[in-house]
């Protein structure tokens, strides 16, 4: 008799799990709450689908934190940057590596990859049911709200791949947490990860909304990096800001080095040059080559400006006043979810035969290819554990 498998959620983790299960001969059904699959993947692809990052495996693994980080590191050891690139090529999607090491499909968009992926799953006999929202457990079965009303499925194994708690409109709404909590599954609270920073600006900043800040070094807690970000109407956005979300939500102070190419002594020496009749702003622009965006940030957070060496120190470590990360639903990803203590590998100890993958697990990583690779790798690993478990059950 054919073994049946149910995958709940049709993002990268769920689709990867479905392919692994079908490849092992299971009859696989995917249940997806939204009308179409892979919505968050398609959204990520609008700005260029960053599949993974070409860097040493040990460096890649170190990007994962959270209570289930060990699971992630083991998963990407088996299916990491090299394997993800090969997997994409296997579906006819050539990839390239950008100057920062980030790996993208040549097509840049997610839609060609997703079409090829779904075609492969269909060829394996995987059935996808859309508008099927998971409503909870019914004994050993699963209950769904469907367009035709309530329905139940009782598979031999189930892989949960419902995402985190951000971008609810795309399907990752975190409502599954209440279902698992009723089963006694230990959960770490959801928190925003890779989120913009909320700032209440003074009126003079309006003309700088949308301006990029390309020459700055950010420091928060034990994280220091040079990177780019954007001044927006709601605060600060961009990869450099996302990289410091964790220390900022933990209460760390954010400082900006507005002249990262010079040390404090050099900045002070340049400021000491005769100013003549130039205004302070004009002198700062000329002496330090500050573009309008960096100068605006200095004026916003540094006034009243000190003089001499004190001004040089301020420019090298400008404290940013903010209201913390943007709300959970606006975050690119979330921390929190199913805690490591609730798992035996990927299986929920409270629910034998039920496995979890992707952003449902309590881990986080920066943008730059880590998120998608982590979801793919854990979807694959959870499915492989489910296969072994089902075979042992006879």
pTM of the model as a whole: 0.94
Q: Is 353 exposed, middle or buried (0-12, 13-18, 19+ CB in 10 A)?
A: middle
Task: Describe the crossing of helices 264-271 and 280-288 by its angle, rounded to 10 degrees.
Answer: 130
75-105 confidence digits (pLDDT tens)? 999 999 999 999 999 999 999 999 899 999 9
The pLDDT of residue 1 is above 90: no
Sign of the Cα pseudo-torsion (124, 125, 126, 128, in order): positive
Sign of the Cα pseudo-torsion (325, 327, 330, 331, in order): positive
3-class DSSP state of 42: helix
Asked if residue 239 lies in contact with residue 228, where contact means CB atoms within 8 angstroms, the answer is: yes
Spans of all domains in the chain? 4-192+331-393, 197-319
333-363 confidence digits (pLDDT tens)? 999 999 999 999 999 999 999 999 999 999 9
Residue appearing with tokens 């951000």: 166
293-334 confidence digits (pLDDT tens)? 999 999 999 999 999 999 999 999 999 999 999 999 999 999
Asked if residue 340 lies in contact with residue 302, where contact means CB atoms within 8 angstroms, the answer is: no
Average pLDDT over all residues of the chain: 96
d(CA 357, CA 144): 20
Q: Which fold has domain 4-192+331-393?
A: FAD/NAD(P)-binding domain (3.50.50)
């Amino acid at each position: 008799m054919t073994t049946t498998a149910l995958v709940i959620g049709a993002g990268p983790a769920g689709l990867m799990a479905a392919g692994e299960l079908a490849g092992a001969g299971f009859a696989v059904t995917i249940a997806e709450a939204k009308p179409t699959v892979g919505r968050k993947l398609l959204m990520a692809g609008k700005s260029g689908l960053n599949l993974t990052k070409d860097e040493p495996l040990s460096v890649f693994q170190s990007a994962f934190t959270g209570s289930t980080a060990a699971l992630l590191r083991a998963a990407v050891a088996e299916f990491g940057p090299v394997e993800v690139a090969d997997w994409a090529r296997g579906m006819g999607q050539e990839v390239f590596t950008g100057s920062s090491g980030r790996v993208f499909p040549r097509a840049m968009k997610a839609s060609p990859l997703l079409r090829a992926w779904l075609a492969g799953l269909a060829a394996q006999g995987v059935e996808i049911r859309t508008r099927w929202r998971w409503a909870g457990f019914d004994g050993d079965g699963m209950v769904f709200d469907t367009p035709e009303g309530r329905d139940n499925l009782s598979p031999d194994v189930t892989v949960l791949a419902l995402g985190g708690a951000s971008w609810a409109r795309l399907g990752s709404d975190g409502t599954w947490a209440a279902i698992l909590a009723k089963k006694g599954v230990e959960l770490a609270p959801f928190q925003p990860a890779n989120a913009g920073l909320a700032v209440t600006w003074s009126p003079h900043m309006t003309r700088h909304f949308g301006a990029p800040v390309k020459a700055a070094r950010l420091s928060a807690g034990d994280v220091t990096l040079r990177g780019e970000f954007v001044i927006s109407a709601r605060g600060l956005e961009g990869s450099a800001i996302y990289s410091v979300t964790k220390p900022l939500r933990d209460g760390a102070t954010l400082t900006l080095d507005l002249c990262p190419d010079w040390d404090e002594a050099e900045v002070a020496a340049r400021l000491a040059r005769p100013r003549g009749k130039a205004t302070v702003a004009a002198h700062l622009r000329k002496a330090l080559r500050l573009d309008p965006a960096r100068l605006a940030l200095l004026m916003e957070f540094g006034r009243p400006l000190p003089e001499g060496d004190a001004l040089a120190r301020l420019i090298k470590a400008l404290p940013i006043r903010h209201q913390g990360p943007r709300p959970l639903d606006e975050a690119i990803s979330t921390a929190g979810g199913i805690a490591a203590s609730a798992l035996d590998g990927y299986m929920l100890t409270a629910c034998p035969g039920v496995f979890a993958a992707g952003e449902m697990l309590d881990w986080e990583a920066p943008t730059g290819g880590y998120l998608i690779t982590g979801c793919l790798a854990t979807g694959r690993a959870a499915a492989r554990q489910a296969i072994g478990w089902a075979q042992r059950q006879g």
